[in-house]
């Protein structure tokens, strides 16, 4: 589900045609700022690498291209995300004052799921979400502040009386692309709150005609299980860089 839409989105961010992501080969491009991409930084990527399961597409500053051509040569793309290959890449980035980020494991909806819990919930939209900014309990569900280039659109909270048990929220990271985040209070974990809220929000996004997606880290298996239980399946993996 949404595979062609994903390829269209990634083609903007990796400056290549959409069919590059269905090809079983490694592709290197010059990074560019293209309209319609997800915006996590106003600057062009110095280095960014993605796979949808076979080959990789790398977009990078041209100063890295000689190294990256050798880095990619005669290697299965998805293996480039493994630690032995990331170590020389990290050393090369360090020469330019950059370091690798964590890898981001991204999910798209693959099947319909009906919520089975019965928690009391409240929905918040648009400006109603402003009241939660600055609340340190919700680092994943919402942004730290209103960001006009990736605004928070919907929040759903589960309640125990007047007490928030958990919050799921989505930001519109590109047109129609709604990234879901979830935070559950420690005393309410392992009760199905996260799965319930993420399922509700995913279904709402789909009903509105938009595309829900979900991301987590390699080792966060609690988050992985929430994604799988809500009908998401792995769709792509990305890694980038930052300045320390």
Q: Which long-range contacts (CB under 8 A, 24 or more apart) does 66-72 make?
A: 67/92, 68/28, 69/28, 72/26, 72/28
Q: In this predicted model, what pLDDT tens digit does every residue of 40-93 receive, in sequence order?
A: 988 999 999 999 998 999 999 999 999 999 999 988 888 999 999 999 999 999
**Can you give the pLDDT at residue 118?**
84
Model confidence at 22, pLDDT cuts 50, 70, 90, reads confident
Dihedral sign computed on CA atoms, order 139, 144, 147, 153 = positive
Residues with Cβ within 8 Å of 214's Cβ and at least 6 positions away in sequence, in order, are: 106, 107, 179, 180, 198, 202, 227, 230, 232
Q: Of the candidates 219, 191, 196, which has an alpha carbon nearest to the alpha carbon of residue 103?
A: 219
Residue-range domains of the chain with CATH: 3-100 (no CATH), 109-233 (3.40.630.30)
What integer pLDDT is reported at residue 6 of this predicted model? 98
pLDDT at 115: 87
Alpha carbon 137 to chain centroid distance? 20
Ranges of H-type helices in the chain: 3-13, 65-72, 83-94, 193-207, 221-229
Q: In this predicted structure, what is the pLDDT of residue 27?
A: 97
Per-residue pLDDT reduced to its tens digit, 97-130 = 999 999 999 999 999 999 888 899 999 999 999 9
Residue pointed to by tokens 């309410």: 188
Kindly list the distances between the CA atom of residue 72 and the CA atoms of 5, 49, 68, 94, 105, in Å, as whole numbers in the listed order: 26, 11, 6, 19, 21
Residue range 220-243: average pLDDT?
96
Q: How far apart are CA 127 and CA 119, in angstroms?
A: 24
Query: For 95-220, where are the alpha helices, taking DSSP H only?
Result: 193-207
Lowest mean pLDDT among 110-119, 133-142, 190-199, 224-233: 110-119
- pTM, 2 dp: 0.94
């Amino acid at each position: 589900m949404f595979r062609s839409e994903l390829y269209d989105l990634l083609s903007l961010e990796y400056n290549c045609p959409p069919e590059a992501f269905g090809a079983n080969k490694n592709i290197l491009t010059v990074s560019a700022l293209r309209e319609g991409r997800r915006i996590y930084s106003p600057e062009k990527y110095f280095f960014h690498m993605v796979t949808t399961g076979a080959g990789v597409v790398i977009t990078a500053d041209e100063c890295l291209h000689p190294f990256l051509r050798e880095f990619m040569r005669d290697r299965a793309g998805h293996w480039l995300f493994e630690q032995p290959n990331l170590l020389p890449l990290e050393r090369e980035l360090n020469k330019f004052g950059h370091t690798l980020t964590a890898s981001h494991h991204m999910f798209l909806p693959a099947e319909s799921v009906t919520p089975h819990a019965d928690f009391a919930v409240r929905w918040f939209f648009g400006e109603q979400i402003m009241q939660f900014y600055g609340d340190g309990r919700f680092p994943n569900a919402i942004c730290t502040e209103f960001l006009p280039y990736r605004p928070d659109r919907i929040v759903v909270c589960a309640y125990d009386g007047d007490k928030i048990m958990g919050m799921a929220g989505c930001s519109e990271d590109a047109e129609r692309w709604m990234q879901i985040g979830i935070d559950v209070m420690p005393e309410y974990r392992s009760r199905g709150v996260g799965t319930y809220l993420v399922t509700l929000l995913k279904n709402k996004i789909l009903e509105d005609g938009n595309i829900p997606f979900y991301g987590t880290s390699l080792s966060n298996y609690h988050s992985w299980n929430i994604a799988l239980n809500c009908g998401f399946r792995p769709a792509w993996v990305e890694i980038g860089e930052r300045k320390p």
